[in-house]
Chain A
Amino acid sequence: MIGIHMTGAGWVFLSVAWTIILVSTVFCVVRVMGAKRPEALPDENDGEE
């Protein structure tokens, strides 16, 4: 069984993992919200084969 008190290495792993995920999530949210194309815009090429 892994030790039952949070070690320094445990904090490092938790902090690094959470930081990577939080930063990537914020990056994606900002970029998706800031994307220039308007939502639900009909595509000129719709129906084109």
Chain B
Amino acid sequence: MRGREHWATRIGLILAMAGNAIGFGNFLRFPVQAASNGGGAFMIPYFCALLLLGIPLMWVEWALGRYGGSKGHGTTPGMFELIWRSRAAKYVGLLGVALPLLVVIYYVYIESWTLAYCYFSADGTFARLQPQEFGPFFAGLLGGNGYWPVYLFFVVTVLLNLAVMWRGVSRGIEALARIALPALFVLATFLVVRVLTLGAPDSSHADRNVLNGMAFLWNPDFSKLSEMGIWLAAAGQVFFTLSLGFGVIACYASYLRKNDDVVLSGLSTATTNEFAEVIFGGSLAIPLAFAFLGGAAVGAIAKQGAFTLGFVTMPMVFQKLPLGQLLSTLWFVLLFFAGITSSVALAQAAVAFVEDELGWSRQKAVSAIWGVIFLGANLIIFGSGVLEEIDFWAGTIGIVVFGLVEVIVFVWIFGPRNAWAEINRGADIRLPRIVYYVLTYITPVYLSVLVVAWIAQDGWKVLLMDGVPPEQRVWRWIARAVIALVLVSLVLLIRASRHLKEDDVRGQGESL
């Protein structure tokens, strides 16, 4: 068996795992979700989902990964085969490679916007724009004559990711996390302090102040708690923010040593992510936008989604502040750090899969996978609606389905007692027994309800392209073909690797 890399330090591992989890969702998606789903009342289903779904599933992925890694498997196809002795195991486990690969194809493109916006903030482009020009600027950059500047930043972003991953897990990904995560926390702290001390920037609108902006996010609307949608939105946010169901946490955990702790490290990753999400994410975009634009405008922005908040509203309101050029640059640097630590994690699953299954060198695997990502992302850039289609199937429904599969395989097929023993092996803190019952019964039921509810709520509509503009339909079908192509290619790779391994065994037998 080829020796596997390990994380150099525990802090580096926790920072890399937290970097995987902390992404655009913490700073843009969370405030929009909370503001649109009952404000403070949103935190009730949010914390329920975190305790009953998020943290237990986080421990499952960590323990699954460490178990697989100790036997030479860095991705879920090999890990599932170890636990579930069935020919189907590897093929089901393929989702843990396909989903992050599909998601990183569009994620890296969004990441390149943040790099482009760092530049446009720093060079004074935004300082010269009128408030009403920020929306058309963003739209034009993505779909109009501005393709090439963004394309240039996209190429640079791909090269930066490639350079980090080329150096390996410890010297590349871990080294990046040790710099980017502390820098992200320093930047976020600075920006939060600046925003919270802003008061009411316009004296003619005294009610437009940061404290009322916090009220917009935190005043509870209890009537929303009776709606199924808020519970689904909260569970979805927890899933997305902790990067669960991608197979990436299991892949990262495969580089642990077999007796390393996963309980405290997994919990530390979750709390670090929640700190960035609830404390930083909840104190930046919405309160700042409220202080300048007022409640009605922020309500409308929240309905338009996270991209409008991040790439139209935020650069616009920063320009109204003293040192706005600097603050806007720091905001996009923060988003870029959040993005790159997540994109290298998403790509790592596919890289590890090729290394493990085909026996390719790290550099060859990284080059091949980033070549695929680069080509796929071009489809996202030039095809209208491709991003939304892949995001729904891979980044929304896919991760919840795969999260359920992971729990079934690790807890039920492996056996609840084996799973419990595996999670607790080498643990630095003792888990209360109630967690065993949560893992065994509540988490799988919670996940099953989510899968059924989401398919019933959105699945049919998306499948039948309900409400999709006619000009997008061809691109949406192309996106589905790409998803199918990725899955078929991975199946063929698994079959090729089987033949390779059989040939190896036969060759060794003959040489003896």
B216: chain A residues at CB < 8 Å are 1-2, 4
Q: With A2-B39, A18-B279, A31-B429 as known contacts, state yes or no: A49 contacts B72, CB within 8 Å.
A: yes
Whether the Cβ atoms of A32 and B9 lie closer than 8 Å is no
Report A1-38 CB contacts with B as 1/0, cut-off 8 Å.
11111110111111011101110110111011001010
Interface residues of B in 62-86 (CB under 8 A from A): 71-72
Return 24 A-B CB contacts under 8 Å, by A number.
A1-B216, A2-B39, A2-B216, A4-B212, A4-B215, A6-B219, A10-B40, A10-B215, A13-B40, A13-B218, A17-B47, A22-B279, A24-B267, A25-B274, A27-B271, A31-B264, A31-B428, A37-B428, A39-B9, A39-B11, A43-B6, A45-B258, A45-B259, A47-B1
A21: chain B residues at CB < 8 Å are 271, 274-275, 278-279
Whether the Cβ atoms of A4 and B207 lie closer than 8 Å is yes
Whether the Cβ atoms of B71 and A49 lie closer than 8 Å is yes
Q: Of A28, A40, A46, which contacts B267 at CB under 8 A?
A: A28
A1: chain B residues at CB < 8 Å are 216, 295-296, 299
Q: Does B340 contact A (CB under 8 A)?
A: no
A-B pairs, 5 with minimum CB distance: A13-B40, A43-B257, A10-B219, A6-B215, A28-B268
Query: How many residue pairs bridge A and B at CB < 8 Å?
Result: 119
Q: Shortest CB–CB separation between residue A6 and chain B, in angstroms?
A: 4
A13: chain B residues at CB < 8 Å are 39-41, 43, 218-220
Size of interface on B: residues with Cβ below 8 Å to A: 47
Q: A2-B38, A5-B215 given. 19 additional CB < 8 A pairs?
A: A1-B295, A6-B212, A6-B215, A7-B219, A10-B214, A13-B41, A13-B43, A13-B218, A14-B214, A17-B43, A17-B278, A24-B274, A28-B272, A39-B11, A40-B8, A43-B6, A45-B257, A46-B257, A49-B72
Q: With A4-B212, A5-B212, A32-B264 as known contacts, state yes or no: A47 contacts B3, CB within 8 Å.
A: yes
Q: Does B388 contact A (CB under 8 A)?
A: no
Interface size class of A (residues with CB under 8 A): 35 or more
Q: Shortest CB–CB separation between residue B22 and chain A, in angstroms?
A: 13
Whether the Cβ atoms of B207 and A25 lie closer than 8 Å is no
A2: chain B residues at CB < 8 Å are 35, 38-39, 215-216, 219, 221
B72: chain A residues at CB < 8 Å are 49
Q: Of A10, A20, A35, A43, which contacts B39 at CB under 8 A?
A: A10
Whether the Cβ atoms of B212 and A32 lie closer than 8 Å is no
Whether the Cβ atoms of B220 and A9 lie closer than 8 Å is yes
Main secondary structure of the interface of B (DSSP, over half): helix
B267: chain A residues at CB < 8 Å are 24, 28
Whether the Cβ atoms of A10 and B220 lie closer than 8 Å is yes
B218: chain A residues at CB < 8 Å are 6, 10-11, 13-14
Q: Does B356 contact A (CB under 8 A)?
A: no
Q: Shortest CB–CB separation between residue B501 and chain A, in angstroms?
A: 15
Q: Shortest CB–CB separation between residue A12 and chain B, in angstroms?
A: 8
Closest to A13 in B: B40
A47: chain B residues at CB < 8 Å are 1, 3
A3: chain B residues at CB < 8 Å are 215, 219
Report B251-271 CB contacts with A as 1/0, cut-off 8 Å.
000000111110011011001
Interface residues of B in 1-33 (CB under 8 A from A): 1, 3, 6, 8-11, 14
B258: chain A residues at CB < 8 Å are 43, 45, 48
Q: Does B397 contact A (CB under 8 A)?
A: no
B268: chain A residues at CB < 8 Å are 28-29, 31-32
Whether the Cβ atoms of B295 and A28 lie closer than 8 Å is no
Whether the Cβ atoms of B295 and A35 lie closer than 8 Å is no
Whether the Cβ atoms of B295 and A4 lie closer than 8 Å is yes
Whether the Cβ atoms of B278 and A18 lie closer than 8 Å is yes
Q: Does B118 contact A (CB under 8 A)?
A: no
Whether the Cβ atoms of B261 and A43 lie closer than 8 Å is no
B214: chain A residues at CB < 8 Å are 6, 10, 14
Closest to B14 in A: A32
Roughly how many angstroms separate A28 CA and B18 CA in the complex, as a whole number? 13
